[in-house]
Amino acid sequence: MQWRPFEPKPSGRVVVVEIDECSIEHFRAHAEGGWPWSRQRHADLLEQLDRAGVAAVGYDVLFADASQVDPLGDSVLDALAKGGSGRFVFGSARLHPDYDEGSPLRASQAPAAFPLAADPQHDPPVALLPPYGEAMARYSAISNVTRDEDGAANVRVLMGGKAGQGRVTETAGVRGIEESDLKSAAFDRTQLDGMIAQRVDGSAAAAYAGERGWQATSVAYDGEARRCKATAESTSSMAASAKAVGGLFGSLGGEVGSMLGGAAKAMPKSEDELAAEELALGPEITGRILGARPLWGYADAQRRVNVVGRWVAAQTSRPDLPWTFGVIDTPEVNAFAAPGGFILITRGLYELLSSDSELTAALGHEITHCVQRDHYKVIRKQELAAAGKERALRDVKSGTDSVAGSYARRYAEEHGATIMLTALDREAEYAADAGAEVYLARAGMNPLALYSLLQKLAALGSESAMLAQLYKTHPPLDARIDRIDGRGYGALEAYTTRE
């Protein structure tokens, strides 16, 4: 290759400053937030180092997107980069060469690149993920390159490559939600009530969409779960189910429903029974996730995920579910779709999203899981495998709760919310990606937003602590991207030119 990055010889006058768990806990203990830091705090650190007289700072944190919550800190950080005139160097990431074609950047524009020949004949496009700020991008360095056998830096990396080894990144100090957390977490009624209080109706979501010029679009979706037909009987049953779900928020320690006969338990379930169990399981499981990690205290984020999520959900075959969305306060990158339309995304994922369309892509994947009843189907399999209803209702005394409500509570008491960290069939995950693209198009947005989001996550590296749980329950990000490449966009192609 004719272009390679310049790497200066190491100096003996280098001090490595590590943002470790101790420093993160210090700020958390003072109610100033954990990790990731606000952009203003990063700017404060750089300013203090500058005042201390350091000659230069290499800041090995990837600031790929402007912050959704700290625009002032963004401006200050980029201003420091500009004022430093190259003394502050920020991280850039090299994307997989499959994405070079069509990139607006050329090899000669890559950070610190220089020609090996006096008059290079070729200046190919190169896919990079630079910092968000103009000055930060100008003074950046590629931080995720590997080495060839000759010792030269190899920029032919790295979808799914390693990140975080020997470097300070926004993954520092991350401890993801473990299965044991979801198994042992107590039901947090206060948190669940707070999440439900953020729920919006269709008119509020439509108003938000109208302000942004999104228009609902009719797009076919083969395989989408059918819209349930409302009948007098089913309407009555759904009302009873809703009442049962409401009952879960009060007197949770009370005695529950009546014993079913053995013959009834062995019978296949009707659509009404399935819907009742699904609606009852959602809040039970969500309340335990919130017992493990609380809602993030940023009200604007909670409002935003609810209006965007509700708008997208309105474009599905199941718009009448009690769709409820929230952001939980953990830096890992993940999302959870509990049965019945309860969806949580992590703060770490939310802060990576640079637009409403990327938020829609993330929510659309989870909404598809709810529409298709993916996690509920796993629960049903567990129930059948363990003679579930027989076991769940064994020795249950007569009370005021419904059969569905009593089963949901018994299931959650035994399993907690561990179903959220149970890996689904890979095809279900690929189908959820396809569903997200359809819902993006139906919601008036560009289906390419999912592809963009998956690329952004892949750039963090397969060993990023932020993605540890995501990789345990989902196919590799490069495999998901390859699947999109393989199937193409077909009828969705017409919507890929939207902004």
Q: Taking a C-beta distance cutoff of 8 angstroms, is the pair 361, 436 a contact? A: yes
Cα separation, 294 vs 177, whole angstroms: 12
What confidence score (pLDDT) does residue 39 get? 84
H/E stretch holding 349: helix 347-352
Distance of CA 216 to the CA centre of its chain: 24
pLDDT digits (tens, 9 = 90+) for 257-269: 333 333 344 445 6
pTM to 2 decimals? 0.61
Sign of the torsion formed by the C-alpha atoms of 207, 211, 212 and 217:
positive
CB 474 within 8 A of CB 429: yes
Nearest-angstrom CA–CA distance, 163 and 21: 18
What is the C-alpha separation between 274 and 269, in angstroms, rounded? 6
pLDDT tens track for 332-358: 899 999 989 999 999 989 988 889 999
Which residues of the chain carry a pLDDT beneath 70?
A: 1-11, 20-21, 34-36, 96-99, 112, 114-121, 143-176, 227-269, 382-424
CB 93 within 8 A of CB 457: no
pLDDT of residue 268: 55
